[in-house]
Amino acid sequence: MRVERRMRVRKKVFGTPAKPRFSVFRSNRYVYGQLIDDTTGKTLVSLSGGLEKKLHGGKPKIWGAFEVGAALAEIAKKKGITTVVFDRNGYKFHGRVKSCAEGARKGGLRF
């Protein structure tokens, strides 16, 4: 069901170099974020809550997701990206996905 929802959303959401797609993936343990340019199919920025242990640091999952969004926004600002298109990847905009989006907004990304 999530894959069907994901494809339905992906028909409408498209990332460009000026306004990349901010894709969120949620595993049972961590949250992963990517900024993707769909015209070339390249990932511009990626960040993992699992690989960056200092982001998660034993906090609850929602706080870890917030930190991933904020850190991704900082990296994106250094690369000159300020506006993105949010892709929730078939998940409900609730919990960790929402927290990651709020962290990115607080970090300076607009969507």
Domain boundaries, the chain: 2-106
The yes or no reply on domain 2-106 and CATH 3.30.420.100 is: yes
Exposure letters 56-87 (e unless 16+ CB within 10 A, then b): beeeebbbbbbbbbbbbbebbeeeebeebbbb
Sign of CA dihedral 40, 24, 99, 76: negative
In this model, does residue 51 exceed pLDDT 90? no
pLDDT tens-digit series, residues 23-43 = 999 999 889 999 999 999 999
Q: Which range (9-18, 36-45, 74-83, 101-110) has the least confidence? A: 9-18
pLDDT tens-digit series, residues 71-96 = 999 999 999 999 999 999 999 999 99
Nearest-angstrom CA–CA distance, 57 and 38:
32
**pLDDT at residue 55, rounded to an integer:** 65
Give this prediction's pTM: 0.87
Q: Which range (20-24, 60-64, 69-73, 75-79) has the least confidence? A: 60-64
Residue 101 pLDDT grade (very low, low, confident, very high; cuts 50, 70, 90): very high
In this model, does residue 49 exceed pLDDT 90? no
